[in-house]
């Protein structure tokens, strides 16, 4: 005979409570609210040899460590796989505590200069910069400096490399993977040396000295199209991103007042160039004032807009509240190029921002360097210090910190790590105060802030 028990209804609330507790502690939960970053230094380390070593870019790896890319002229110290005094790409994999996991250099017998590292969907990386070599790791060179894009796996082994250029100075500053599995490369090139070539969708248009030059590649690195934009003077794209519609935004600095530059502000302007997915031009937009305004980085914000950062010497037109000699200047604009807000940060001396990222809580992390000890800055350790600051979504300053020694210290890029800290890379000539040691002329500088 089957014997059954009556259900114990009194136990149901207790069981539900236990289940809710267990569910709330489950492994599938997302991260909690991001912790505030108070600016306390957790780690400062330098890397290099007796020559010039400059870190320019960093990403966090899938295993929670860091890839730091830069340029080296050393062949001693932490650099163990090259000889000579030319410059090469230098890629370091570092642990969370700053220990070297491995080190690799890439290049030929002439000079290579690195500009950016980005992650790819297969766990590898794109290394971007420019080369004057035609040997070693470089298959060919069209003349003087060419774009150089190197695809490596997660161990740093080269999968493929591509050069793009003509007989003049052609310098790439960023390559990144696109939503269709291909890649986009931005930088600038000397259109006068190309004779007008390099513009596949608008042939025969000859502008001037330097142009924004965007190249769309397929998944194997083969060119799909090339486009250049600018006027008769210097126009240089230092950053780019893919837009929500599959198009692209190229950003940088422009000195021109004609051709594609239709709204000049002054000597040099922040310049944004918005493209369709096939490279056709949608619009261009200038931001700035009468003086020199240089933009080095841009991001797509969580609300679907964009921010460009750099430095401004202007005190008029778009720049309404300057602080001093040159300020870190941000301008936020929408997908039509209309300005939303602008903000200046700095003191009475030269201050600049070279990178920006957005935290999931909406705040922005910026890095650059400063000579000021007043205004938004409290101290200066020497000639030039690394400068890191955080602002909220409206552009209000939340905290800032300057880090350095008595000599020259620069920040090139900062990222937020998965453990809610800031990792900053750059270069240093100091060996005192905040900087623990100097290996040579200039060293890779890595700083972790919590």
Q: For residue range 315-326, what is the model confidence (pLDDT) as tens digits? A: 999 999 999 999
- Mean pLDDT, residues 246-252 taken together: 98
Token pair in block for residue 73 = 């002229």
Beta partners for 89? Answer: 71, 106
* DSSP structure string for 229-298: E--SSBEEEEEEEE-TTS-EEEEEEE---STT--S--SSBEEEEEEE-TTS-EEEEEEE--SSBEEEEEE
Which CATH superfamily is 36-54+112-449 part of?
TolB, C-terminal domain (2.120.10.30)
Question: What confidence tens digit (pLDDT) does each residue in 324-377 have?
Answer: 999 999 999 999 999 999 999 999 999 999 999 999 899 999 999 999 999 999
pLDDT at residue 38, rounded to an integer:
79
- Mean pLDDT, residues 65-71 taken together: 98
Token pair in block for residue 429 = 């000539």
Flag whether the pTM goes above 0.85. yes
- Mean pLDDT, residues 9-20 taken together: 35
| CA–CA distance, 304 with 336 (Å, rounded to integer) | 11
Residues 98 and 38: beta-carbon distance below 8 Å: no
Locate the domains of the chain by residue range: 36-54+112-449
| Edge-to-edge strand ranges of the sheet holding 385-391 | 351-358, 364-370, 385-391, 397-403
- Matching residue, tokens 């236990």: 18
Question: What confidence tens digit (pLDDT) does each residue in 149-207 have?
Answer: 999 999 999 999 999 999 999 999 999 999 999 999 999 999 889 888 899 876 666 67
Count other C-beta atoms under 10 Å from residue 155's C-beta: 10
Token pair in block for residue 59 = 């990403």
Please choose, from the candidates 287, 223, 275, the residue with its C-alpha nearest in 3D space to the C-alpha of residue 247: 275
Residue 374 backbone phi and psi in degrees, to 5: -145, -175
């Amino acid at each position: 005979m089957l014997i059954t028990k009556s259900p114990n209804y009194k136990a149901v609330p207790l069981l539900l409570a236990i289940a809710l507790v267990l569910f709330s502690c489950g492994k599938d939960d997302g991260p909690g609210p991001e912790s505030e970053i108070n600016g306390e230094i957790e780690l400062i380390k330098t890397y290099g040899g007796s020559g010039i070593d400059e870190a320019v870019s960093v990403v966090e790896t899938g295993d929670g460590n860091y890839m730091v890319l830069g340029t080296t002229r050393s062949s001693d110290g932490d650099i163990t796989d090259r000889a000579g005094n030319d410059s090469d790409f230098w890629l370091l994999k570092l642990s969370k505590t700053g220990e070297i996991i491995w080190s690799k250099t890439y290049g030929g017998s002439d000079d290579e200069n690195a500009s950016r590292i980005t992650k790819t969907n297969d766990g590898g990386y794109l290394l971007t910069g420019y080369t004057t070599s035609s040997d070693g790791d470089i298959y060919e060179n069209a003349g003087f400096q060419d774009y150089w894009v190197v695809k490596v796996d997660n161990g740093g082994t080269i999968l493929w490399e591509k050069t793009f250029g003509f007989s003049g100075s052609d310098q790439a500053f960023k390559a990144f993977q696109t939503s269709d599995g291909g890649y986009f490369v931005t930088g600038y090139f000397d259109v006068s040396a190309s004779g007008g070539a390099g513009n596949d969708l608008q042939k025969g248009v000859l502008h001037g000295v330097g142009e924004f030059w965007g190249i769309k590649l397929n998944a194997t690195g083969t060119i799909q199209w090339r486009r250049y934009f600018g006027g008769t003077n210097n126009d240089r794209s230092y950053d780019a991103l893919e837009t929500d519609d599959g198009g692209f935004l190229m950003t940088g600095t422009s000195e021109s007042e004609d051709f594609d530059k239709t709204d000049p502000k002054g000597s040099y302007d922040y310049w944004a160039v918005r493209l369709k997915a096939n490279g056709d031009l949608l619009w261009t937009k200038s931001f700035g004032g009468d003086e020199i305004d240089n933009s080095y980085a841009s991001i797509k914000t969580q609300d679907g807009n964009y921010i460009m950062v750099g430095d401004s010497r202007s005190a008029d037109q778009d720049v309404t509240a300057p602080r001093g000699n040159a300020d870190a200047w941000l301008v936020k604009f929408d997908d039509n190029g209309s300005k939303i807000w602008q903000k200046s940060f700095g003191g009475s001396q030269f201050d600049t921002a070279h990178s920006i990222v957005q935290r999931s809580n909406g705040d922005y992390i910026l890095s650059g360097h400063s000579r000021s000890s007043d205004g938004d800055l409290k101290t200066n350790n020497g000639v030039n210090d690394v400068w890191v600051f955080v602002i909220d979504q409206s552009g209000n300053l939340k905290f800032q910190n300057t880090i350095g020694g008595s000599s020259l210290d620069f920040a090139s890029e900062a990222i937020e790590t998965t453990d809610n800290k800031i990792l900053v890379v750059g270069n240093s000539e100091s060996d005192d105060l905040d900087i623990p040691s100097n290996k040579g002329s200039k060293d890779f500088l890595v700083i972790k802030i919590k």
